[in-house]
Amino acid sequence: METRRAEIVIDRPADEVWARIRDFEDVSWIPNTETSRMEGDVRSVRMKGGSFEVTQRLLEHDEANRTMKYCMAMQLDLSAVYGPGSVVDHLVATIAVSPKGEGSSWVTYDVETHEFMVAGVNAEYQGALDNLKALLEA
């Protein structure tokens, strides 16, 4: 397994940034997502184009520290994308929002997953943070 971090500084207070992303079901700030639904602590996200759905289980949600952590809820066979045997059975992600000076926030999005996936997932998470910044600073 490998770990990577996406990160960004957003010119908005930490409470405002957290308010935008704290709802685990709401993936509207994440590019390439179409719909999301919750069943208990499991989120099912349909990607744009409807080609597949990702299921993720919420592990931790800490309002006071503005963090949430989730994992894959089911294996995902990505052999068609990454080649034979590319089954994802481990992905843990943690997103955190911290104050950075007056009126700004430092947002981190960590991922731990398979070596063949980590760069792509990290790039996706960085894109999500870039989009979040654009939405909140507009």
Instruction: Give DSSP secondary structure letters for 49-113.
Output: TSS-EEEEEEEEEETTTTEEEEEESS-EE-HHHH-TT-EE--EEEEEEEEE-SSS-EEEEEEEEE
Query: Is residue 124 assigned to a domain?
Result: yes
pLDDT tens digits for 65-84? Answer: 999 999 999 888 888 878 88
pLDDT tens digits for 42-70? Answer: 999 998 876 678 999 999 999 999 999 99
Model confidence, pTM: 0.92
Q: Which domain, by its residues, includes 72?
A: 2-20+60-137
Query: Is residue 85 assigned to a domain?
Result: yes
Strands 76-77 and 67-72, sheet pairing: unpaired
> What total number of domains does the chain contain?
1
Query: Is residue 107 assigned to a domain?
Result: yes
Query: Is residue 48 assigned to a domain?
Result: no
110 within 8 A of 93, measured Cβ to Cβ? yes
Query: Is residue 47 assigned to a domain?
Result: no
Query: Is residue 54 assigned to a domain?
Result: no
Query: Is residue 77 assigned to a domain?
Result: yes
Which CATH number does the domain housing residue 14 bear?
Answer: 3.30.530.20
